[in-house]
Amino acid sequence: MTTAVLLIDMQNGFLEAQGSLPSQGAVLPNVAGVIAENAALLETARELTLPIIYTRHVFRSNFVDIPATTLKKWRMDPPPLIRGSWDAEIHEKLRPTADDVVIDKSRFDAFLYTDLETVLRAMRVDRLLVTGVVTSICVESTVRSGQQRDFDMLVASDCTSAPDQFQQPALDIMAHAFAEVGTWRELIADRAEPFVALS
């Protein structure tokens, strides 16, 4: 199998105190630890020459592409995750390199209305090691969608974050039906088949 790392929405708007979501009270737990584990995973993935794919949850400045339900639930001051803004950019400790792929999305599911599946098929990827935020929303939505598209899904529990009441239930339901869940080191070390990088 060819494995890629998929980082979901590790953006300033979710992770930094001045970001649009934390500044409105949507503060995620253990952000510093999750960033550090993602950084360590990225370092290992680059050593193994695994493909690395990032998603960014972004909207146009007039919010014409935001779901109506999201518009009702999110506060728009400050405007969240505007395409091209500091808020929408990947956190500086996890910045993509020129060889990485960045997929912009406007829905929780990173496969929906994007070219993510096209990119993965072209790269001959059939296994995804998924990290990111929010575990119970965009991570879980993407994992379910990937599993339904016949990708082998892995979720790095120590590289994800959600409010405490949702974190473990989300990991449990993904482990029950949609993915293998563990720390990123366990998922890499315990594979029956070795990770295969693109040549």
pLDDT tens, residue by residue, 120-170: 999 999 999 999 999 999 999 999 999 999 999 999 999 999 999 999 999
Those residues whose C-beta lies under 8 Å from the C-beta of residue 159, and which sit 6 or more positions away, are 34, 37, 38, 41, 131, 132, 184
Distance CA 88, CA 13 (A): 6
Cross-strand partners of 127: 3, 152
* 3 state SS of 169: helix
Q: What is the pLDDT of residue 191?
A: 56
Q: Give the residue among 154, 98, 152, 108 at the shortest CA–CA distance from 131.
A: 154
pLDDT in tens, 120-131: 999 999 999 999
Angle, nearest 10°, between helix axes 164-177 and 140-148?
10
Q: What is the pLDDT, as a whole number, of residue 127? A: 97
Q: What is the pLDDT of residue 197?
A: 53
The predicted-structure confidence for 69-100, as pLDDT tens digits, reads as follows 888 888 777 899 999 999 999 999 999 999 99
In the block, which residue shows the tokens 């990827």? 125
Higher-confidence residue of 71 and 4: namely: 4
The domains of the chain, with CATH numbers, are: 3-189 (3.40.50.850)
37-75 tens-digit pLDDT: 999 999 999 999 999 999 999 999 999 999 988 888 887
